[in-house]
């Protein structure tokens, strides 16, 4: 009985360690991720995909995207337990709670040039914008 418990404990701790290593290494995949100049806008199947990470604020703070193009905003969270997970994009009528870890895709219809699409946390403390040019 006792050794069974010990085995179970070892399995649980082992799982946590492996999970931690996986999380840690995936978090380190791209060390430039938080640099605003990193290319976070890509074309995928006729749409442009803008990736913004949410954790203690939003990164990058400003993205430049193409106007008149169907767009998917990918909000990435990674152990995000702060209010940046409470996302609000008023111009889209979007308000949602991002999962602590994951990717949330938000459809953005084509925007006219000059549009600055702003998103912020529920309290308006953190924000980001996508400039359509
Ligand atoms: Cu906030």
Distance from the CA of 83 to the center of ligand 1, in angstroms?
A: 4
Distance from the CA of 124 to the center of ligand 1, in angstroms?
A: 6
Residue pLDDT, tens place only, 83-119: 999 999 999 999 999 999 999 999 999 999 999 999 9
Mean pLDDT of 18-23: 46
What's the N-to-C CA distance of the chain in angstroms? 67
For the cut 70, the answer to whether the pLDDT of residue 3 exceeds it is: no
How many Cα atoms sit within 13 Å of 71 on the Cβ side? 26
Alpha helices in the chain (DSSP H): 2-27
Distance from the CA of 62 to the center of ligand 1, in angstroms?
A: 18
Check: pTM over 0.75? Answer yes or no: no
Contact call for residues 126 and 89 (beta carbons, < 8 A): no
Contact call for residues 66 and 42 (beta carbons, < 8 A): no
Where does the pLDDT of residue 2 fall: very low under 50, low under 70, confident under 90, or very high at 90 and above?
low
């Amino acid at each position: 009985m006792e050794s069974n418990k010990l085995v179970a404990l070892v399995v649980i701790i082992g799982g946590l360690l492996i999970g931690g290593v996986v999380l840690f290494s995936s978090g380190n995949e791209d060390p430039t991720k938080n640099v605003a100049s990193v290319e976070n806008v890509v074309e995928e199947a006729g749409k442009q995909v803008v990736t913004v990470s949410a954790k203690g604020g939003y990164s990058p703070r400003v993205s430049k995207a193409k106007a008149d193009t169907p767009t998917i905003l990918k909000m990435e969270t990674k152990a995000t337990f702060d209010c940046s997970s409470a996302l609000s994009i008023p111009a889209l009528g979007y308000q949602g709670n991002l999962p602590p870890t994951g990717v949330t895709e938000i459809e953005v219809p084509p925007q006219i040039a000059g549009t600055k699409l702003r998103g912020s946390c529920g309290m308006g403390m953190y924000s980001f914008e996508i400039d359509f040019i």
